[in-house]
Structure 1
Amino acid sequence: MKILSIQSSVAYGHVGNSAAVFPLQRLGHEVWPVYTVHFSNHTGYGAWRGPLLAAEDVRDVITGIEERGALEQVDVVLSGYQGGEEIGDVILDAVARVKRANPAATYTCDPVMGNAKSGCFVHPAIPVLLRERVVPQADLITPNQFELGFLTGTEPTDLESTLASVDAARAMGPSSVLVTSVERPDAEEDTLEMLAVTPDGAWLVATPRIPMKANGSGDVTAALFTGHYRSTGDAADALARTTSSVWDLLRTTHESGERELQLVQSQEYYAHPRMQFEVTRVR
């Protein structure tokens, strides 16, 4: 499978394409990364260096790929954090060009906006862009529970309301939704859940909560689930494999004492997930 991944890049650490590309390659997929920024490190450090690429420069890179006659080979377009409206326009244009060249291609959007602890940390124009223009063009979106509520104007607090929020999101355009962090009062203590909903049903999986903040883990999650689900069409299996791989990545990182994801050290968990968590059908 060939994936056009339009995301940020960092030299030190793993977020954006610097988190998504290698796990997909370890699964055997061809990935063509297009960078929207190239920073020294992720912005969570509070200081960084490097360029924010102009939208036209990003567009030129995609045009160069198109001029090689390669867009018709793209199976998936993957995008993450969108730093501005102009980049959003470039991504939407790329999706349209890919789908013209290959109508079977799909688009996965990770609608990065914030989280329950930090709130919305993007420019106020970005949620509007995502809600009104980007999400309706996506086939799969991978929000966390906070972003799901922000997109749909709902307040998902338990499984029933989260499923209702997913239905609202799917009514906007995407056929499939992966909610990457579900928290609900009746869940088992010290667990975190993920929920996948597709036209074929809905599935939930729980893992022990690992007490750490891991920048880039959402990027890895969106990439792995996209790779598995697009390859097989089996959402339950894709959820099980993604959850297993990401949990072992986070466990390895936590045990290392390092701040950055131990992406390379965890590579066997992408290629050979342990499948240690049970996926339950909830609809």
Structure 2
Amino acid sequence: MRGRVLIIAGSDSGGGAGIQADIKTVTALGGYGATAITALTAQNTQGVAKILPIAPDFIVEQVKQVLTDIGADCIKIGMLHSTAVIDAVANLIDELAGNIPLLLDPVMIAKDSTSLLDPAALSVLKQRLLPRATLITPNIPEAEALSGRKIDHPEAMPQAANALLALGPAGVLLKGGHLPGHQLHDLLMTQDYQESFQVQRIVSPHTHGTGCTLASAIATGLAQNRPLSEAVRRAHAYVQEAIRLAPGYGKGYGPLNHAHTVSPFRI
């Protein structure tokens, strides 16, 4: 077990996304996952029924307890949902995180279109956390909200990624899964590097939690001192295989097979 990842995100009672997907992913890739839960959700593969926010001071206490004892080699941030939570997390990271790499997955909308981020909090997210991020991993709708640009074809992705870089993060992985077509286009960009990831789309309803899973897989690679491009490449391959081997659970958008790297323990 190598690479400590502190995950700051919401809980998914269905186990396919959020903290549950994050822990499975980090473990499956050989890392150690610690958590600070920002919200509880009552959900399954068909949608989010209810959301119970966690008080900002308790989120801060979770982060503080982990960082002052176990420590972290990478911090992965997912669902933050409100201005108060974003400010509290940003303040604590400024105080305790030092030079720990920070991966920000700007979770805004659930698979069933439930809003997971207060619209008023968007500008605070851009001001407080994007400039601190080693990498942000927005999908197309999230990138459009952050950049103010329409992204309706792969050729528009480099300009949008550049606009996101101008907001301060060191790197952007712009995920193109919302664009039409048989090929998926993801774009990794920093100030001096660009790499495109293109794969055949796997036609499947079992894609719940792909964004959380990809972000946590990359965070694990960074925590294990892999170069950014290598961490993204491994994470991309891991998620593709997790979709391909999805167990088929649920009546809606089903979970991935996060454990496809793991051999069952036998006595």
TM-score interval, normalised by the smaller of the two chains: 0.7 to 0.9
**More helix by proportion, 1 or 2?**
1
* 8 Å CA contact 1:114, 1:121 repeated in 2: yes
Deviation at 1:34, TM superposition (A): 0.9
Aligned pair partner of 1:164 in 140, 159, 174: 159
Q: What SS does the aligned partner of 2:220 have?
A: helix
Deviation at 1:262, TM superposition (A): 3.8
1:244-283, aligned counterparts within 5 Å?
244-253=237-246, 256=248, 258=250, 259-268=253-262
Distance (whole Å) between structure 2 residues aligned to residue 93 and residue 43 of structure 1: 34
Give the alignment's TM-score, normalised by structure 1: 0.79
Give the alignment's TM-score, normalised by structure 2: 0.83
Distance (whole Å) between structure 1 residues aligned to residue 125 and residue 45 of structure 2: 21
Count of aligned pairs: 258
1:257–1:264 CA distance, 2 compared to 1 (3 A)? same
Deviation at 1:122, TM superposition (A): 3.4
Aligned pair partner of 2:27 in 1, 25, 28: 25
Match of 1:274 in 2: none
* 8 Å CA contact 2:206, 2:256 repeated in 1: no
Match of 2:74 in 1: 76
Q: Which has the higher contact order (CA 8 A, sep 6+)?
A: 2
Gaps in structure 2 of 5+ consecutive residues: none
Aligned pair partner of 1:208 in 189, 200, 207: 200
1:96–1:196 CA distance, 2 compared to 1 (3 A)? same
Aligned pair partner of 2:210 in 208, 214, 217: 217
Q: Is 1:14 matched with 2:10?
A: no
1:1-150, aligned counterparts within 5 Å?
1-41=3-43, 45-48=47-50, 51-66=52-67, 69-70=68-69, 73-99=71-97, 103-114=98-109, 118=113, 122-150=117-145
1:167–1:5 CA distance, 2 compared to 1 (3 A)? same
Distance (whole Å) between structure 1 residues aligned to residue 81 and residue 72 of structure 2: 24
Structure 1 residues 201-250: Cα deviation after superposition (integer angstroms, max 9, x where no partner): 11112222223262211000111122224534433332322221111111
RMSD across aligned positions (CA): 2.9
Match of 1:276 in 2: none
* 8 Å CA contact 1:79, 1:91 repeated in 2: no
